[in-house]
Amino acid sequence: MKAAKTACLVCQIIESKIPSKKIYEDELVMAVLDVNGAVPGHCFVMPKTHYPIIEQVPDKEIGKLFQVSNKISSAIFESLGAQGTSIFVANGIPAGQTVAHFTINVIPRKENDGVNLQWQPKQFSEEEISTVELKLKEHTKNIGYFEKEEKKPRAHAPKTRPFSEEEDEHFANQMRRLP
Binding site for Zn ion (CB under 5 A): 8, 10-11, 50, 101
Cβ of residue 133: shortest distance to Zn ion, in angstroms? 36
Cβ of residue 104: shortest distance to Zn ion, in angstroms? 14
Cβ of residue 48: shortest distance to Zn ion, in angstroms? 9
Question: Distance between CA atoms of 126 and 12, rounded to whole angstroms?
Answer: 48
Question: How far from 8 is each of 51, 105, 141, 161, CA to CA, in Å?
Answer: 10, 18, 35, 42
Cβ of residue 13: shortest distance to Zn ion, in angstroms? 9
Q: Which is nearer to Zn ion, 56 or 131 (CB)?
A: 56
Q: Which is nearer to Zn ion, 42 or 50 (CB)?
A: 50
Q: Which is nearer to Zn ion, 29 or 75 (CB)?
A: 29
Cβ of residue 8: shortest distance to Zn ion, in angstroms? 3
Distance of CA 146 to the CA centre of its chain: 14
Q: Which is nearer to Zn ion, 22 or 170 (CB)?
A: 22
Q: Which is nearer to Zn ion, 48 or 71 (CB)?
A: 48
